[in-house]
Amino acid sequence: MKKVSILGSTGSIGTQTLDIIRRNGENFSVCALTAGSNTSLLEEQAREFKPEIVAVASEDAANDLKVRLADTAIRVLSGEEGLCEAAAIEEADITLGAIVGIAGLKPVLSAIDAGKDIALANKETLVTAGDIVMARAKEKNVKILPVDSEHSAIFQCLEGRGELKKIYLTASGGPFFGKKRAELENVTAKDALKHPTWSMGAKITIDSASLANKGLEVIEATHLFGVTADKIQVVVHRQSIVHSMVEFVDGAIIAQLGSADMRTPISVALNYPVRSEISGDSLDIFGTGNLTFEKPDTDTFRMLELAFSASKMGGTMPTVLNGANEEAVSAFLNGKCRFLDIADMVEGAMENHKIKENPSLSDIFCADSEAREFVKVKFKL
């Protein structure tokens, strides 16, 4: 039986992970659960899965949770320290990283330091500190198993198959596919939250609408698969059936297909190296219709090119791209800026930044704060 610590258990990935565990009780048990502030759902999850520890981001949330769980023996922790302790809990065999944003970085590093294999959904961890995370994972001999559907697909396509020439990273195109800049002037957060194929948390859904998500995934892939960004071609594939493809040096292209259900990549990571049955409908291969592949419109969706540039520049630049994007997306979700401002804010923060090569963890957090501050001041947020 694998014991799992789940970081971000109240989110979209977290709840789907618990759904897999609920249906495979004989294979998994839960030893830790964490959330930001959703104490009512965390209480419900804790009563059902009976972890040893639960952790939340703030002291206030922890005080509320302590009252809610007073009749149980579950330990309630708080803050960065509490999240890191939950991530590295001794009992865990594997830690699933599904906190959103750079807030997930330190807990994932704690789990690596404690020798836990990582099922990684939190792409911002690799975007901001990929070199440090991958080096530490190598040093501690822990596996980083991708949960992002595209990276899971690439991982599955690559397994033991030889030298790769190119990665085709697929993108649904999001809710604004086919629109030009002028048509995006006045779109609202409500419009951007209507993703055509995937049901996900708010931040990644906005990132999908701006193609920032694909940009972050390009950077994530460079770290996971040890390639430079110029070996990655983003392909718009509206049907979200091919989850990515790999071309090998002999010209063969291997693709991974499936329905748009995150439970498959989560299950691949949790069960690795074996596969386990998932209930639900499998892909109706005759019902898929035509599969289409197109080049992305980078004039309209500028975040993609900005991410390629940040990846090439390296050092602290991907952290700046990520920090400015997190701040801008939060502003957009709160109605404080327009959709098209997101890329302008990120570009401004990148132009303003002096890159630090081979950054330490503290350089990374400095670059993140600088980018967020730049966005707040420049755009009067």
Which residue, 147 or 229, has its beta carbon nearer to ligand NDP? 147
User: How far apart (Å, rounded) are the C-alpha atoms in residues 170 and 149?
Assistant: 10
Site for ligand NDP contains 12 (CB under 6 A): yes
Which residue, 83 or 340, has its beta carbon nearer to ligand NDP? 83
Separation of CA 341 from chain center: 23
Which residue, 127 or 343, has its beta carbon nearer to ligand NDP? 127
Number of neighbours of residue 203 by Cβ within 10 angstroms: 19
Which CA distances in Å does 175 have to 54, 127, 130, 179, 315?
A: 36, 24, 29, 9, 32
Site for ligand NDP contains 204 (CB under 6 A): yes
Site for ligand NDP contains 102 (CB under 6 A): no
- Please choose, out of 110-118, 168-176, 184-192, 196-204, the segment that lies near ligand NDP by the rule CB under 6 A: 196-204
Binding-site member from 4, 11, 86, 169 for ligand NDP (CB under 6 A) = 11
Which residue, 38 or 233, has its beta carbon nearer to ligand NDP? 38
Position 35, amino acid: A
Task: Give every CB contact of residue 376 below 8 A, 6+ residues apart in sequence.
Answer: 327
User: How far apart (Å, rounded) are the C-alpha atoms in residues 240 and 58?
Assistant: 37
Angle between helices 39-49 and 59-68 (to 10 degrees): 50
- 297 phi and psi, to 5 degrees? -90, 95
Which residue, 184 or 262, has its beta carbon nearer to ligand NDP? 262
Residue 11 DSSP label: S
Site for ligand NDP contains 262 (CB under 6 A): yes
Strand partners, 1: none
Instruction: Identify whether the C-beta of residue 212 lies closer than 8 Å to the C-beta of residue 303.
Output: yes
Task: Give the footprint of ligand NDP on residues 133-172 (CB under 6 A).
Answer: 148
Binding-site member from 27, 75, 198, 225 for ligand NDP (CB under 6 A) = 198
User: How far apart (Å, rounded) are the C-alpha atoms in residues 232 and 32?
Assistant: 36
Which residue, 58 or 186, has its beta carbon nearer to ligand NDP? 58
Among left, alpha and beta (phi > 0; psi -120 to 50; other), residue 226 is: left
Identify the burial level of 133 via C-beta atoms within 10 angstroms of its C-beta, where 0-12 means exposed, 13-18 middle and 19 or more buried.
buried
Site for ligand NDP contains 99 (CB under 6 A): yes
Binding-site member from 5, 10, 264, 267 for ligand NDP (CB under 6 A) = 10
Site for ligand NDP contains 98 (CB under 6 A): yes
Binding-site member from 18, 31, 77, 103 for ligand NDP (CB under 6 A) = 103
Instruction: Identify whether the C-beta of residue 74 lies closer than 8 Å to the C-beta of residue 45.
Output: no
Site for ligand NDP (CB under 6 A): how many residues?
A: 29
Which residue, 158 or 202, has its beta carbon nearer to ligand NDP? 202
Site for ligand NDP contains 318 (CB under 6 A): no
Instruction: Identify whether the C-beta of residue 208 lies closer than 8 Å to the C-beta of residue 173.
Output: no
Which residue, 123 or 302, has its beta carbon nearer to ligand NDP? 123
Site for ligand NDP contains 121 (CB under 6 A): yes
Minimum separation from the CB atom of position 320 to ligand NDP (A): 18
Minimum separation from the CB atom of position 182 to ligand NDP (A): 29
Binding-site member from 13, 87, 154, 371 for ligand NDP (CB under 6 A) = 13
User: How far apart (Å, rounded) are the C-alpha atoms in residues 212 and 224?
Assistant: 18
- Residue 162 has, within 13 A of its CA and on its CB side, a CA count of 9
Minimum separation from the CB atom of position 375 to ligand NDP (A): 18
Which residue, 208 or 300, has its beta carbon nearer to ligand NDP? 208
Binding residues (CB under 6 A) for ligand NDP: these are 8-14, 35-38, 57, 83, 98-100, 103, 121-124, 148, 198, 200-204, 262
